[in-house]
Amino acid sequence: MQSSRVPPQLVRLILLVLLILGTYAIARVNLTPKTFGQYGHYRGAALDEAAARQLVFAGTKACNECHDETFAKLAKDRHKNVGCETCHGPSRAHARNPDVTTQKLTGEFCVRCHVADPARPAAQKQIKLHEHFPSDSCIGCHVAHQPNQSK
């Protein structure tokens, strides 16, 4: 006579599945951030957090208000597409109050964009650092705002 009992390995399997589902349900309730789903499939509080972050960039237009000569020089030369703050660093504090100085530049940052790298577009001229006057500072020879002129 055949027994109608559920085979024990199936019982174990069902218990295991229930355990996994249960753990998942408990974790979901306890680990989901409170504001998740408030507006959509993201954390509602993330909006306030993003809005509360301090702005550090002023934007090139803001620099133009007081440094229109530099702005005009830059616009005429090859660096016209490089924003002021790309080189000078975040300068919002300075733009609001010129007594706050911008960071001091030594020219070492030029290599960020100009050291030879085959992935770069050809229009962005590249140099081999060890061949291109390695013992001198870039801005000892190049005018940063007008890179096609020399000092």
| Residue carrying the six token digits 């006057």 | 133
Q: Is 147 in the site for ligand HEC (CB under 6 A)?
A: yes
Site for ligand HEC contains 44 (CB under 6 A): no
Question: Shortest gap between Cβ of 52 and ligand HEC (angstroms)?
Answer: 22
| Binding-site member from 36, 71, 93, 146 for ligand HEC (CB under 6 A) | 71
Out of 29, 51, 119, 123, the residue judged to bind ligand HEC by CB under 6 A: 123
Are 105 and 86 within 8 A, CB to CB? no
Contact by Cβ (8 Å): 95, 58: yes
Binder to ligand HEC among 16, 20, 21, 105 (CB under 6 A)? 105
Burial of 80 (0-12, 13-18, 19+ CB in 10 A): exposed
Length of the chain: 151
Residue from 36, 44, 86, 146 that binds ligand HEC (CB under 6 A)?
A: 86
**Residue number with CB closer to ligand HEC (35 or 60):** 60
Q: Which distant-in-sequence residues (6+ apart) come within 8 Å of 54 by Cβ?
A: none
List the alpha helices (DSSP H) in 32-137.
45-52, 60-66, 68-76, 84-88, 92-96, 111-114
Q: Give residues in contact with ligand HEC (CB under 6 A).
A: 58, 60, 62-63, 65-67, 70-71, 74, 78-79, 82, 84-88, 91, 94-95, 98, 101-102, 105, 107, 109-114, 123-125, 127, 132-133, 136, 138-142, 144-145, 147-148, 150
